[in-house]
Amino acid sequence: MTQSAPRIERLAEIDSTNEEAKRRLGAGAETPFWISATAQTAGRGRRGRPWQSSGGNLFLSGAYRFSSDPGELAQLSFVTALAAYDAFAAHVLPGAVSLKWPNDLLLDGAKAGGILLESGTDAVGRWLVVGIGLNIADAPDNTPYPALALADRLAPGLNRPHPDDVARDLAAAFESWLGVWRREGFTAIRKAWLSRASGLGEPIVVKGGAEDLYGVFEDLDAGGALCLRQPDGALMRVAAGDVFFPGRK
């Protein structure tokens, strides 16, 4: 796969690279553009959660403009997850990295990265900000899901990479997977994502809605929803939530 390397502007400390990307879009910045930060003072995760953002980890946002509708743009979270997978897989033993629905990066089953997609429409058109946080040097403590950093699982003989190097590889991989999405559509992205997915065929619990949902993670549908086979045999499509694996230690 040929990978072009988008330019990434490195910032020192900032509130949030996603917020900065949105400010720049609002000020008319030309797209696409990528920014990273050494540290964030108000890093944000999915569902309004804070994202611990101390030095040594990666905080990266890419800003794009598309004519696709919002439903299609949501597919780009899977494109981003595949790019994050590629950026991490080069540093660890084969099989150590996997993807957890909807868009977490796992390292030996523990969370090592997350993705926050934000989109909207302004006078210019539809915009999308892809925000990626990757634990390179440190993983936070006391998280709802166990966490690890790349530094905890480096392949023998490899040194911990600088966040700038991981950012460069990730942005280039994003461009490559974006090309796949544009040429072949979500079908190809879905297939690639499923082949890297954690917990396919396993019992899971999806939390975050009015009630916890139990079942077997059977598939990803054509729009990216999780297909959950419930204990009564019915297939439920889940559009949002946090997946846990009750059978794992």
Based on the shown chain and the rule CB under 6 A, indicate whether residue 16 belongs to the binding site for ligand BTN: yes
238's enclosing H/E stretch is: strand 235-238
Looking at the Cβ atoms of 36 and 75, the one nearer to ligand BTN is 36
Q: What is the DSSP string of 94-129?
A: TT-EEEETTTEEEETTEEEEEEEEEEEE-SS-EEEE
Closest by CA to 178, choosing from 218, 249, 40, 170, is: 170
**Whole-number minimum distance, CB 74 to ligand BTN, in Å?**
15
159 DSSP assignment = P
Quick one: 151 or 216, whose CB is closer to ligand BTN? 151
Residue 77 engages ligand BTN in binding (rule: CB under 6 A): no
Binders of ligand BTN in range 114-133 (CB under 6 A): 114-116, 131-133
Residue 42 structure tokens:
């108000």
* Rounded least distance, CB 82 to ligand BTN, Å: 16
Taking CB atoms, the residue at the shortest distance from ligand BTN is 114
CA dihedral 172, 31, 65, 18 (to 10 degrees): 80
- The three-state secondary structure class of 215 is strand
According to the binding rule CB under 6 A, does residue 198 interact with ligand BTN?
Answer: no
Please give the residues from 20 up to 59 whose contact with ligand BTN meets the rule CB under 6 A: 40, 43-46, 49, 51, 59
The pattern of x and - marking residues 127 through 166 that bind ligand BTN according to CB under 6 A reads: ----xxx---------------------------------
Min dist. Cβ of residue 147 to ligand BTN (A): 10
# of chain residues touching ligand BTN (CB under 6 A): 20
Largest CA-CA distance found in the chain, in angstroms, rounded: 53
**Pick 66 or 145: Cβ nearer ligand BTN:** 145
Block residue for tokens 């000020």:
27
What does DSSP assign to residue 136?
A: S
225-240 exposure pattern, b = at least 16 Cβ within 10 A, e = fewer: bbebbeeeeeeeebee
Residues that bind ligand BTN (CB under 6 A): 16-18, 40, 43-46, 49, 51, 59-61, 104, 114-116, 131-133
